[in-house]
Amino acid sequence: MKIILNYLYHFFRLFFPSHCEACNKNLLKGEKTLCFNCLLDIPKTNFHKEKENSLNKLFYGITNIKYSTAFFFFRKGSKYRTLIHKLKYKGKDYLGIELGRMSGAEIKDSFFSEIDIIIPVPLHPAKKRIRGYNQSEMISKGLSEIMDKPYKTDILLRNIFTETQTKKNLEERRKNVNTAFKLKNQQYIEGKHVLLVDDVVTTGSTLIACANELLKSKNVVVSIFSVAFADNL
Ligand SMILES: [Zn+2]
C-alpha cells in the first residue's frame, strides 16, 4: 500500500509539481514551501542573537518589552514580500504555519526559550470571517509546534468597532488603536512570559497596544515575535 501511495505521489508530482512560494520555480525532491536557494537567501534579522536591536528600539520608553525579534526584513522589491501577501490575501493559511515552524527552529535555542506561552495578535472578527483565519494564529501554531510551548487565542481579543478608521484624524486613530484590544482570562498569564506574535511590524503601534493590554496582568513579561520587519518603508 505504502509503495503504491508513494508511486502515486511521484506520478502526480510529475504533472502537478509544487512551486517555491517565493520565486515560483518547481520544487525538487526534498524541498518544501521554498526552494533551496530561496531558503538560503532569506534576509534574516538574527535579532534572536542580540537583545538590543532595531526592532526592540521601537518600544523603548513606550511599553515594556523584554525581547523582540523578526524572522526576516520586509523590503521593497524583495521576493519574500510575496510570502506575506499570499498569507494575508490569497488564502494560503498553511504558509503561516510553515513560516512559524521555520522561525521556531531559528529561535528555540536562543533566549526566547524562556517564554511560557504564545499569544497571536487577534484579528478583527469581521476580517477573520472574510479571510477564514487569523494569519498570526497560523504563525503561532507553527511556532508552538517547534518551540513546544502552548498558544492561546482566548486571552487577547479585539474590541468590535462600528466606525471606520479612515474618517478619524491621527490623534483619534491612535486612541482607537489603544482601545482596540481587551484582555480576558488574565489570571492565566499571571507571572508568565508571553510571546506576542504578529505577521509584519512597521511602526509597532498594534504591538504596543496589545502589549499594554497584556501588561495589565500581574507580573507578566512580554516579548515580541513577527515574521517580517519593515524597517525601511
Ligand atoms: Zn525559490
**pLDDT tens track, the chain, 233 positions:** 777 777 766 666 555 569 999 999 999 989 999 999 999 999 999 999 999 999 999 999 999 999 999 999 999 889 999 999 999 999 999 999 999 999 999 999 999 999 999 999 999 988 899 999 999 999 999 999 999 999 999 999 998 764 555 566 666 666 666 688 999 999 999 999 999 999 999 999 999 999 999 999 999 999 999 999 998 76
Q: Rounded to the nearest whole angstrom, what is the distance from the C-alpha of residue 39 to the centroid of ligand 1?
A: 7
Spatial separation of the C-alpha atoms in residues 129 and 134, rounded to whole Å = 9
pLDDT at 34: 96
Neighbours of 104 (CB within 10 A): 23
Same domain assignment for residues 132 and 207: yes
Residues with CB in 5 Å of ion ligand 1: 20, 22-23, 35, 38
- Contact between residue 204 and residue 91 where contact means Cβ atoms under 8 Å apart: no
- Contact between residue 116 and residue 156 where contact means Cβ atoms under 8 Å apart: no
Q: Domain of residue 213: give its range.
A: 43-229
Q: Rounded to the nearest whole angstrom, what is the distance from the C-alpha of residue 159 to the centroid of ligand 1?
A: 39
Q: Rounded to the nearest whole angstrom, what is the distance from the C-alpha of residue 77 to the centroid of ligand 1?
A: 15
Same domain assignment for residues 105 and 191: yes
SS3 93: helix
pLDDT at 76: 87
Same domain assignment for residues 24 and 106: no
pLDDT at 6: 74
Set of cell numbers at residue 210: 496589545
Spatial separation of the C-alpha atoms in residues 121 and 133, rounded to whole Å = 12
- The two beta strands, 68-73 and 117-120, are unpaired
Same domain assignment for residues 48 and 14: no
Which residues partner with 152 through β-bridges?
none
Q: Rounded to the nearest whole angstrom, what is the distance from the C-alpha of residue 19 to the centroid of ligand 1?
A: 8
Instruction: Say how many domains are in the chain.
Output: 2
Q: Rounded to the nearest whole angstrom, what is the distance from the C-alpha of residue 230 to the centroid of ligand 1?
A: 21
Same domain assignment for residues 119 and 4: no
Same domain assignment for residues 110 and 76: yes
pLDDT at 177: 67
Spatial separation of the C-alpha atoms in residues 108 and 71, rounded to whole Å = 12
Set of cell numbers at residue 74: 520586509
Same domain assignment for residues 177 and 78: yes
pLDDT at 167: 61
CA distance readout (Å), 43 to 61, 112, 127, 226, 230? 28, 20, 29, 14, 12
Same domain assignment for residues 126 and 216: yes
Same domain assignment for residues 27 and 138: no
